[in-house]
Amino acid sequence: IISEITVRSRARSAHATPISEIIEMNASKLLALLVALVALATANAATLQGSVGGGYQYTTSTDTTTEEALANEVAAASWGSWTDRSIYDSKFKSHVSTVAAAGGTTWTAFKTAHGGDADFIGIYVDAAAKKTSITLEATDGQKDNAKKEMLEKTARDMVGVLAVVSAAEAGDWDKAAAYFYGASSDKSGSTTYGRAEKRCANYGTCTGQGGEATVNTAIGQALTGNKAADIIKQYKVLYSQNVLRYANLIDQNIGAPEDLIEIIGEGQAFWRILKPWLTDTDARKVFDRMFSTVYTPQAANNYNYCIAKKYIDAFLTSTMGTASAAATALGNLDEAAGVTCASDIAHGLVTTITTNAGDYNLQITDGSNDIGAALAYSEAVKKVVNLVDGGSGTDIATAFESTSLKGLAESGGEDTADMFATHHGGANWMSAIITDATMASGSSYSTAGAKAEAIQKTIQDSIAMQSIITDLEHAGHAEHGETADQKKAYWDSAAAKYFGTTDARSSTIYARADKRGMNFGQMVAGSVSGTEVSQVNKNILAAFNSGPSEANMNTIIKNLKVIYTQATLRYAYLVNEDLAEATDWNEHQAEGFAFYNNIAPYVKAKDSSGHNMLANYFNPKVVPDSYNFFGYCKSKAVLKAADSAVWSAMGKFENDDKVTCPTTFPAEGKITTDAGSYNPLNQIGASLSFAGAIKAVTSLLDENVNYATVKSTYNAVGLRGEAGQKRTDVPYYNLAIKYFKKADWINTYIETAFDSSSTLATAARLEIIEKTARDNVAVQAVISDLYKAQATTDPDASTVHWDHAAAKYFGPDTDTDRSQTIYARANKRGANYGTLDPTGKFAKTNKDVMEEFNGATTIPSRKTAYTKIVTQIKVIYAQCVLRYAYLIDTNLGDYVEYQAEGQAFWKILAPWVNDVDENGAVYLEGIFDTARAPTHGDHFCHALEIIGKLKLPATDFGNLEGTGNIDCSGRTVPADAAAYLATAAPVSAAPATFRAGIFASLASVAVALLLA
């Protein structure tokens, strides 16, 4: 149209046609011209906005096809296929070249922060694509995942940020907007706009226009308002959010390497964008180490999040003008809800760690290796332990996880970690202990104190030891191919976990070593005047300072073994002492369990039987056994044999002189008796030593008896403790409480014989002591084990209790010790009642008991066997009571010893009798009362009537020798035994009348019927 008007104008100029005429003649064409000009002017106009429909919009007036292509390339990229920088060069480099050519403040800052090379992005991309920059220990798959994140975040975010800011700084606002929003709203997810939308969902900052990220609305407004500084300010907020989030993700994923390496790579790429703006020197070192793909990440007590928060809060306060504005802009990270950071948190950019054993000098000497996260392990322990007193199990479990302790416990490791995982049944064995100990119900630990000890010792000692050894093995073993600097970093990390912070050093293995050093006479002068330190700590410090090597690693591990061998032995003694003194053993057992866990695989490798003993002794699911100092003495023998080098470095336990240990212990394994054999699955030496403990007491009972010596021996060998155990879960114990009205009735009773003011005859006192120690305590112990074996839901614990019960019942395969058992008592009564086998070697009762022990191999079968074995125990002591009632009748002129002996046996049977016949129990209590003289000769008949109510099997019970001609007809128990005993007549002139003939036969039948 223009050319046509021009031609026509020229053609008509010769005739000087007026312009008004021209306009009039070409009005329609002129209108078309104006429309064309407007169209030409708006041909490149476009409205850009992000994925949020109601979000801020920007309208361009120029062609931005080139800039919009960046988002398209990001969306189409297959990051995993990159093997070098070639795709970057062909698809992305042109955008960076444009930025570089423009120069500008931001480009210069980025280039300087990343080494000064203008190709710093291409160099980074090439190393990431080749994975040559990812040299920390990781699988190929983990490195691939990290590579993808590093490439994507660099191309999308770093290139995107530089492109937006560079264009804005140059005043090319349409180009800046095109880079920011992308080609269309569905492509904004491949731009920094999309990144901001993801972060606002994490931080609660989706409060911009239409619900889009506040950052995105602010950047849109800055683009419209031509304010490059505001765009930079918002990018600082966005990448602060990114960096802080990924710092937190390291803390929360420290035990998940499949995710962790990817998180490191992603966080590193984000940090590279923030780094040019965050110029604090220490902060840069901290973040460089935090997101390093060279050094293995560390985490504890939310260190990464908290130290990142400290620096980012300061940075954003400077950026936004006030702390309040910074907090509003940043928002609150939902994934860190509940995390509380110390106001005085400090970095770990140090060169020494000072202790009272001396200074540890870090191997990386330039202060670039932030060991803050490793030092924070002690702070994490301190935090969780503080919750143990008064905190709920849920609170403790939550803190255990949120402080990264759970992640560290489950993170696995090297050779030692594998060995321990195999031994303890899985890689999560330590966190399983915490889970168990924090359960509200169904826990293996029966008291709150035991739970607390298991928790504290597992996190302070077991998890720390495993984490330290993992670091040491990386530094000390050659097969991993670490560089010298990587080994130094591992070594420094191990040292930081061992020594901890000054404020939380009491929550470290270092502190544990000092405690045990005091118990074992191993304290030496410390480096600080007036202080002492364990020799172990001096040894470990010297090895750490000598630097990474296999020899130094082995020295440290040896000394760790010393610490936990000392701890195991000490708690073996304390449990033994608790059992002997009838004090609560649960806490000491739980502590011993946690300490022994740290050396158990080493001990088992040398002596599986010895390990079995220690494992059972400290098993929190099982009541520990120790008699005659077996628990301590056997533990000492096992630990001494396990590692002579460790033992020689132990020192001497402070209470060792209080115990004289035997040179031999009861033989483990198969129990062989005349009534059959029993093969335990567990170590039973402690239970077999029960008979030896009884023998230690009964061997002192002679005409020259010293009651004080007998009493002290009874106490020391563990019989008082066994007798005094509270067994409120056991029915027999509860029946006894009901009858005797005392929780410690056995010890109360035996004290009447120990009492120096006792007026009992010597013979009576000796019988009470012997039968109480040998029979009453044994019955309590055996029935308790039997009950627990069938009441538990844990098959392993059931078998341990079952084995313990068998060992106590049958005793060891030596005549002297077996003579002190219920088995031996049953054989004696079998001889009295005609219930021995045809060879005369064992009682039918013992045959039945042996068959029940062998036949019951599951918890359901043990429920039935428990009832049958208890019935046989009733048979034995009912036989005893009836026999001594008879002996009183036949020895009215010399009854004292028989009455006392009968009384001791009656104390065993009484709870069962009282349960079926309270009047009968009152009567039998009266006739065996050593303060009361017998008043008649009908004790046998009366006892027979009362015992008959127990409904014991007649064939098992038999007939008492010498009683076949006794006629009990008409001789019944008084209906009111209490009134009768209060007004009983004097002693009768003769025992019960013996009758012959038909009456004798009828009497035998009557006995059988009564007992049926």
Q: Say if residues 631 and 617 touch (Cβ distance below 8 Å).
A: yes
Q: What is the pLDDT of residue 815?
A: 79
| pLDDT exceeds cutoff 60 at 474 | yes
**Band of pLDDT at residue 819, cut at 50, 70 and 90:** very high
Q: What is the pLDDT of residue 44?
A: 59
| pLDDT exceeds cutoff 90 at 368 | no
CA distances from 701 to 81, 241, 358, 707 (A): 88, 81, 59, 9
Torsion sign across C-alpha atoms 629, 633, 634, 635? positive
| pLDDT exceeds cutoff 50 at 999 | no
Residue 485 CA to residue 292 CA, distance in Å, equals: 13
Mean pLDDT of the chain: 92
State the average pLDDT over residues 10-19. 42
Q: Say if residues 331 and 204 touch (Cβ distance below 8 Å).
A: yes
Task: Name the pTM for this structure.
Answer: 0.86
For 424-469, the pLDDT digits (tens) are 999 999 999 999 999 999 999 999 999 999 999 999 999 999 999 9
Q: What is the pLDDT of residue 24?
A: 52
Q: What is the pLDDT of residue 478?
A: 82
Give the tokens for residue 922: 């009152």
Numbers of helices and strands, H then E, in the chain: 52, 8
- Amino acid, res. 76: A
For 129-186, the pLDDT digits (tens) are 999 999 999 999 999 999 999 999 999 999 999 999 999 999 999 999 999 999 877 7
Torsion sign across C-alpha atoms 371, 374, 376, 382? negative
Q: What is the pLDDT of residue 412?
A: 87
Name the β-bridge partners of 354.
359
DSSP character string of 834-853: T-B-TTSSSBHHHHHHHHHH
- Amino acid, res. 131: K
Q: What is the pLDDT of residue 45?
A: 73
For 657-684, the pLDDT digits (tens) are 999 998 889 988 999 999 999 999 998 9
Q: What is the pLDDT of residue 28?
A: 56
| pLDDT exceeds cutoff 50 at 38 | no
State the average pLDDT over residues 41-48. 68
Per the document, the length of the chain is 1012
For 738-752, the pLDDT digits (tens) are 999 999 999 999 999
Nearest to 600 by CA among 641, 561, 653: 561
Q: What is the pLDDT of residue 960?
A: 97
State the average pLDDT over residues 354-373. 95
Nearest to 490 by CA among 458, 468, 464, 460: 468
Q: What is the dihedral of CA 152, 202, 186, 168, to 10 degrees?
A: -70
| pLDDT exceeds cutoff 50 at 575 | yes
10 Å CB burial of residue 217 (0-12, 13-18, 19+) is: buried
Long-range contacts of residues 194-199, Cβ cutoff 8 Å, at least 24 apart:
194/50, 194/51, 195/156, 195/157, 195/238, 195/242, 196/238, 197/50, 197/51, 197/52, 199/238, 199/241, 199/242, 199/245
State the average pLDDT over residues 783-795. 96
Q: What is the pLDDT of residue 436?
A: 96
Helix H segments across 114-227?
Answer: 120-130, 140-153, 159-169, 173-181, 192-203, 214-224
For 774-786, the pLDDT digits (tens) are 999 999 999 999 9
Q: Say if residues 453 and 431 touch (Cβ distance below 8 Å).
A: no
Name the β-bridge partners of 836.
843
Q: What is the pLDDT of residue 389?
A: 83
Q: Say if residues 922 and 900 touch (Cβ distance below 8 Å).
A: no
Q: What is the pLDDT of residue 814?
A: 84
| pLDDT exceeds cutoff 60 at 840 | yes
Q: Which residues contact 919 (CB under 8 A, 6 or more apart)?
A: 973, 975, 976, 977
Q: Say if residues 400 and 434 touch (Cβ distance below 8 Å).
A: yes
Q: What is the dihedral of CA 100, 105, 111, 115, to 10 degrees?
A: 150
Q: Say if residues 176 and 231 touch (Cβ distance below 8 Å).
A: yes
DSSP character string of 76-97: H--GGG--SSHHIIIIIHHHHH
| pLDDT exceeds cutoff 50 at 105 | yes
Q: Say if residues 930 and 919 touch (Cβ distance below 8 Å).
A: no
Q: What is the pLDDT of residue 492?
A: 98
Element (H, E) at 361: strand 358-361
**Band of pLDDT at residue 23, cut at 50, 70 and 90:** very low
Q: What is the pLDDT of residue 785?
A: 97
For 748-774, the pLDDT digits (tens) are 999 999 998 998 899 999 999 999 999
Residue 78 CA to residue 987 CA, distance in Å, equals: 108
| pLDDT exceeds cutoff 70 at 85 | yes
Burial 482-517 (b: 16+ CB within 10 A, else e): beeebbbbbbbbbbbbbbbbeebbbbbbbbbbbebb
Name the β-bridge partners of 958.
none
Q: Say if residues 450 and 620 touch (Cβ distance below 8 Å).
A: yes
Residue 301 CA to residue 340 CA, distance in Å, equals: 10
For 682-697, the pLDDT digits (tens) are 989 999 999 999 999 9
**Band of pLDDT at residue 1000, cut at 50, 70 and 90:** very low
Q: What is the pLDDT of residue 18?
A: 52
Q: Count the Cβ atoms, other than its own, within 10 Å of residue 40.
A: 9
**Band of pLDDT at residue 12, cut at 50, 70 and 90:** very low
Report the percent of the chain where pLDDT is more than 70.
Answer: 93
| pLDDT exceeds cutoff 60 at 872 | yes
